[in-house]
């Protein structure tokens, strides 16, 4: 009687352990970005563009039909790219307090509050008085972000495209790990010397129109771990197979 009781108890305990384990499984549904059961034919992406701020370091290139007129604007073309990465302040123009860029020949130009493309137009309108048929190209060369937490390659990254979004940041970090919580991505952002924290749910398709979906310089993107992270399954058949094996094992033990 006692032997039967302990055998029965052990079987029940084993079954409870199996059920608990399966309740902690991670399936593809937990890892899918922008989940929706409908066919979405049109998505309105967030159209907000990054507005330049004090402290942004701008690369300025002016191309004209007379190259010798603009040599001081094209120092990057003759410089070692590694030196530019290590010493960007030697090759860029800083937006200083007051919101102005101080450019050779062109003088002080208001930059804060404009997008890069808008500032290119402003500089071009001024440059036509000094250069013949000028073409202006601007980039932010101190646009750096950090991606931390449950990603495959955490670290600091330089962003070239000022219109990049969180998915681009995650691609630089080789994507979220299998135990990363894609529903609660934390973004730590410095805005006018104030640190702000935002949360983004990458399973929600509405996130695409969220202004916080777009990156800004010095953003810190943190991916937390899932609370349940005992097992992960790459496919439903794997989960079914394990369930059948668990039930079979239980029946064998119970019959004995």
User: Taking the domains of the chain in order of start, what are their residue ranges?
Assistant: 2-24+230-255, 31-48+143-223, 57-140
How does DSSP assign 228-245, residue by residue?
--SEE-SSHHHHHHHHHH
Q: Are 133 and 66 in contact (CB under 8 A)?
A: no
User: Has residue 189 got a pLDDT over 70?
Assistant: yes
Q: Is the pLDDT of residue 154 over 60?
A: yes
Look up the CATH number of domain 57-140.
Answer: 3.30.1950.10
For residues 189 and 205, what is the distance between their CA atoms, to the nearest angstrom? 22
Mean pLDDT over 141-146 rounds to 91
**Euclidean distance between CA atoms 169 and 175, whole angstroms:** 9
Q: Where does 31-48+143-223 sit in CATH, by number?
A: 3.10.560.10
Distances (CA, A) of 103 to 7, 108, 110, 127: 84, 6, 11, 11
CA distances from 219 to 106, 173, 241 (A): 32, 14, 43
Q: Is pLDDT above 70 for 40? A: no
Do 30 and 226 touch, CB atoms closer than 8 A? yes
Confidence band for 75, pLDDT divided at 50, 70 and 90: low
Residue 246 reports pLDDT greater than 70:
no
For residues 65 and 69, what is the distance between their CA atoms, to the nearest angstrom? Answer: 9
Please give the residue that has the higher pLDDT: either 109 or 32: 109
Burial of 134 (0-12, 13-18, 19+ CB in 10 A): buried
Beta-bridge partner residues of 185: 200
- Please say if the pLDDT value at position 81 is more than 70: no
Is the pLDDT at 17 greater than 50? The verdict is yes
- C-alpha to C-alpha distance for 198 and 196, rounded to whole angstroms: 7
Mean pLDDT of 31-43: 56
Say if strands 144-149 and 185-191 run parallel, antiparallel, or are unpaired.
unpaired
Mean pLDDT throughout 225-231?
Answer: 66
**Rounded CA separation 239/28 (Å):** 11
Q: How far apart are CA 55 and CA 98, in angstroms?
A: 11
- Model confidence at 6, pLDDT cuts 50, 70, 90, reads very low
Same fold: 31-48+143-223 with 57-140: no
- Reading the block at residue 148, the tokens are 């931390």
DSSP 206: G
């Amino acid at each position: 009687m006692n032997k039967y009781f302990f055998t029965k108890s052990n079987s029940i305990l084993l079954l409870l352990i199996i059920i608990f384990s399966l309740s902690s499984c991670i399936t593809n549904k937990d890892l899918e970005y922008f989940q929706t059961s409908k066919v979405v034919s049109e998505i309105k992406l967030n159209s907000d563009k990054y507005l330049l701020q004090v402290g942004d370091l701008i690369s300025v290139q002016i191309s004209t039909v007379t190259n010798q007129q603009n040599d001081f604007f094209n120092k990057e073309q003759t410089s070692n790219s590694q030196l530019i990465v290590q010493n960007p302040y030697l090759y860029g123009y800083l937006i200083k307090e007051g919101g102005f860029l101080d450019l050779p020949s062109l003088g002080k130009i208001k930059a804060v509050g404009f997008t890069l493309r808008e500032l290119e137009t402003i500089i071009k309108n001024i440059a036509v008085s000094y250069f013949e048929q000028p073409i202006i190209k601007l980039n932010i060369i101190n646009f750096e972000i950090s991606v931390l937490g449950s990603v495959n390659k955490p670290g600091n990254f330089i962003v070239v495209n000022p219109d990049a979004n969180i998915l681009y940041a995650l691609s630089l970090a080789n994507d979220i790990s299998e135990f990363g919580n894609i529903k609660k991505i934390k973004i730590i952002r410095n805005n006018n010397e104030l640190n702000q924290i935002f949360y983004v749910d990458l399973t929600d398709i509405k996130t695409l129109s969220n202004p916080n979906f777009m990156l800004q310089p010095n953003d810190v993107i943190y991916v937390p771990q899932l609370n349940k992270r005992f097992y992960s399954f790459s496919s439903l058949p794997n989960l079914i197979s394990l369930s059948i094996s668990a039930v079979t094992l239980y029946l064998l033990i119970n019959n004995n």
